[in-house]
Homo-oligomer: A and B are copies of this chain.
């Protein structure tokens, strides 16, 4: 069977590659817009496709709770449910279950919590979480992981690593059992992929232990979890640097929940291939646009009569048709269209950034691109907020 990840070119630790899935190829490095509840907030699938997105992230925990397993299955799986023709990666929700449910109990064989919607007691085991993702026709299935809160002591983190590795083994077992039965939405030779998640907090040796144990399992890809959970940015980068060397070079790497554009560039340089982040759509709801000169807030009064687009030369629908003056007007009037157009532009910004990164890698100009980009966009650079 063909490898599910191929590296076309590398420059330093950065890689140009492609992931093969049942719903098509994902060129990496790639940004995955976040559609937690089976919708990338504010955007139609058509708008998302047109701006160049080919993969989105949905959240198994959120969708398991609402609408539940059955409606998605009845509709023919997650792709049909949300009308997304591209690739879907389903996060397990290991992080969200614990961070969003203060009373969640992490046990050796799963997580128990009360549904935030109706208070019923819910148990999610590693096997169930994988089964649900397969049943929904996910292209990239994530194992259930145990993500300790920030800050956490070494002992607690060690325990979470042990659980995460044990759960990954259980996940892998049920994954292949289900695939052998071949009773879902995919057809050979294409098959869904299974990604592991590396925990270990800010402890480099625990990161190494977790990454090494998961690497031995020969999963299809590896996520770096437990980052961007509240820790300072230096520790975040250190956690990633403590993990990547212990992951197999032939498998895609995914930094979960990241990040700002400059972080994405920094992490591509450290060998990361996949990113997901709520920033483009969340900032849109706060009236903030990404531009090549930093963030631009529609609160700025001088935009009232600014007839230029958010970003000169941007190909998105918002920039092709609307002025900053109009977008500021929509924002002031709290009109839905303002959120829609900003979400569209910001998501396009991230997707286009990844295209520029891939183009630079392909042309052998990655290092030059990286220096130029960080010169303009680093934290502390011009931010118009």
Binding site for B on A (CB under 8 A): 37-39, 41-46, 66-68, 70-71, 74-76, 81-83, 304-305, 307, 317, 321-323, 325-326, 328-330, 332-333, 335-337, 339-341
The 7 closest A-B pairs by CB, nearest first: A83-B321, A67-B329, A42-B336, A39-B337, A71-B325, A37-B333, A39-B335
Q: Are A43 and B326 closer than 8 Å at their CB atoms?
A: no
Q: Which residues of B contact A330 (CB under 8 A)?
A: 37, 39
This chain's copy number in the assembly: 2
Q: Are B332 and A66 closer than 8 Å at their CB atoms?
A: yes
Q: Are B337 and A339 closer than 8 Å at their CB atoms?
A: no
Q: Which residues of B contact A339 (CB under 8 A)?
A: 336
Q: Are A75 and B326 closer than 8 Å at their CB atoms?
A: yes
Q: Which residues of B contact A305 (CB under 8 A)?
A: 70-71, 74
Extra contacts besides A44-B317, A66-B332, A83-B326 (13): CB < 8 Å: A37-B333, A37-B335, A39-B335, A41-B335, A46-B317, A67-B328, A71-B304, A71-B326, A74-B307, A75-B323, A75-B325, A76-B307, A336-B336
Q: Are B337 and A67 closer than 8 Å at their CB atoms?
A: no
A38 to B340, CA, bound (A): 15
Q: Could you name 11 residue pairs across A and B whose Cβ atoms are closer than 8 Å?
A: A38-B326, A39-B333, A42-B340, A43-B337, A44-B341, A66-B329, A67-B328, A71-B304, A71-B305, A336-B336, A336-B340
